[in-house]
């Protein structure tokens, strides 16, 4: 919006020329869209992972300045190789269990191994990632007044007695089982989000992601879609655990 000055002259009764100045407002659309997206500086933890890399790609393509944080425990640099030469993308090797400081507008906390094969490999580390990583990111969000999104999971419902699960369902959980490091860690992370919101007015968002598949997924992820595809490609028998009566919700 620019100010344009319009000058008009007129002659008075004594022959004196009067100048009237009126400011007119002009609108100039510099983009093809009527609303240009707002530029943001965004931190994505676990950004080199399967879901995180897809998110980084979307945010970079939208023109945001993206910092991708990852310790490459279950991910790899090649997942974001196509972004490395982008001027608005930065890759940092870092573990979220250690504090990390930067100025940002939004935080997407995607950091944590999600496959049972991976999170059961080091259950204590899995729990630390969920809880200490969440504390560090919430502390950062509080400090810089950033909005934070926590990537939670359907596993917060445990072994549910209700299917499909509404968000009002509190779950049917086991705090001592071999999968509890992931389930309880994610439940504790959600608790921290809402406590930071109530106590410190941190702007939080929580999504409970179910079984996710798509381009770039790890062939040895250990879950049903990748298992079926790899076995089919190798001409092997397809493995079905149990009696095959179990159900899953899939997200592409």
Q: What is the DSSP letter of 158?
A: B
Q: Residue 90's closest CA among 125, 133, 42?
A: 42
- In angstroms, the Cα distances linking 232 to 50, 171, 227, 239 are 22, 34, 8, 10
- Catalytically active residues, by annotation: 182
Identify any residues that bridge with 149 across adjacent strands, giving them in sequence order. 108, 205
Q: Strand ranges (DSSP E) for 36-154?
A: 41-45, 65-70, 89-93, 106-109, 147-153
Instruction: Give the sheet arrangement for strand 147-153, strand by strand.
Output: 89-93, 65-70, 41-45, 106-109, 147-153, 204-209
| DSSP-assigned letters across all residues of 212-243 | E--TT--TT--SHHHHHHHHHHTTPPPP--TT
Q: Residue 42's closest CA among 96, 108, 92?
A: 108
């Amino acid at each position: 919006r620019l100010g344009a000055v319009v000058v008009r002259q007129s002659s008075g009764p004594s022959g004196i020329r009067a100048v009237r100045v009126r400011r007119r407002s002009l609108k100039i659309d510099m983009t093809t869209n009527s609303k240009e997206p707002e530029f943001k500086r965004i931190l994505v933890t676990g950004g080199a992972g399967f879901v995180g890399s897809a998110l980084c790609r979307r945010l970079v393509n939208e023109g945001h300045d993206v910092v991708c944080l990852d310790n490459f425990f279950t991910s790899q640099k090649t997942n974001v190789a196509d972004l490395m030469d982008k001027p608005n993308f930065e890759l940092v090797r870092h573990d979220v269990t250690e504090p990390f400081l930067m100025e940002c507008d939004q935080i997407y906390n995607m950091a944590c191994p999600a496959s049972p094969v991976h999170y059961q490999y080091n259950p204590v580390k899995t729990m630390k990632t969920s809880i200490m990583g969440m504390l560090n990111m919430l502390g950062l969000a509080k400090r810089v007044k950033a909005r934070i999104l926590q990537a939670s999971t359907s596993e917060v419902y445990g072994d549910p007695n209700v299917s499909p699960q509404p968000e009002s369902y509190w779950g049917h959980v086991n705090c001592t089982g071999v999968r509890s490091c992931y389930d309880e860690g994610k439940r504790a992370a959600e608790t921290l989000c809402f406590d930071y919101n109530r106590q410190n007015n941190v702007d939080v968002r929580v999504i409970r992601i179910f079984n996710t598949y798509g381009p770039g997924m790890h062939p040895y992820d250990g879950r049903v879609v990748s298992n079926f595809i790899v076995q089919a490609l190798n001409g092997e028998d397809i493995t079905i655990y149990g009696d095959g009566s179990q159900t899953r919700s899939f997200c592409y």
